[in-house]
Amino acid sequence: MSEPAGRPVPARRRRTAPPATERGGEGPGFPLAAGILLGLGLGGFFDGIVLHQILQWHHMATSAGYPPDSVENLKLNSLLDGLFHATTYIFTLAGLVLLWRAARQRHSPWRASALLATLLMGFGLFNLVEGIVNHHILGLHHVNETVPRGQWIWWDVGFLIWGAAMLAGGWALWRRANAPRRP
């Protein structure tokens, strides 16, 4: 949509980045915190939707004395799963707000690899924190409680390795995405 003749477009409403000479260089890069929060949210949604609901491998407190073997336990686990989803929703919403705010500022074009890098870092961070805290420290649940009890540790360790690989891969991609561009 164009502005009426004679009225300049305020800088905050520009849709494209101004020329480099006016910007004073490249400008700020992709907002790291926004991408990590979005990745945390996506990681949480993947865990809750795929592992809790579709595969039904566990719920939030199935190893903490509330296995889904009664209606009361299932009701409690459903409530805790819902609170978990609400938290991941808040992470996602916060990431979107930060991304929106950064997008409305002057900046050089962002690389898609920077977005992918931060999503991987956030998703991997989710797996590591959730895995260490809920699976190992608190013992609230384990990744796959449908296999024999002695095999749970292998699924939990695999979840941590997967998280560490995503975090490391995201970090490497982030460094590459933020390397100086060749002319």
pLDDT tens-digit readout, 2-35: 445 555 555 554 444 443 333 333 456 899 999 9
Question: Does residue 24 sit within a domain?
Answer: no
**Number of separate domains in the chain:** 1
Say yes or no to pLDDT of 142 above 50.
Answer: yes
For residues 63 and 145, is the Cβ–Cβ distance under 8 A?
yes
Q: What was the pLDDT predicted at 5?
A: 57
CA quadruple 113, 117, 118, 124: dihedral, nearest 10: 160
Question: Does residue 111 sit within a domain?
Answer: yes
For residues 173 and 117, is the Cβ–Cβ distance under 8 A?
yes
Question: Does residue 117 sit within a domain?
Answer: yes
Say yes or no to pLDDT of 183 above 70.
Answer: no
Question: Does residue 150 sit within a domain?
Answer: yes
| Structural domain that includes position 64 | 30-177
Say yes or no to pLDDT of 127 above 50.
Answer: yes
Question: Cα-flanking dihedrals φ and ψ of residue 25, to 5°?
Answer: 115, -155
Question: Does residue 15 sit within a domain?
Answer: no
Q: What was the pLDDT predicted at 180?
A: 78
For residues 125 and 164, is the Cβ–Cβ distance under 8 A?
no
Q: For the whole model, what pTM was predicted?
A: 0.81
Question: Does residue 161 sit within a domain?
Answer: yes
For residues 120 and 166, is the Cβ–Cβ distance under 8 A?
yes
Q: Which residues contact 26 (CB under 8 A, 6 or more apart)?
A: 20, 108
Question: Does residue 101 sit within a domain?
Answer: yes
Question: Does residue 167 sit within a domain?
Answer: yes
**Angle in degrees, CA 165, 170, 176, rounded to 5:** 130
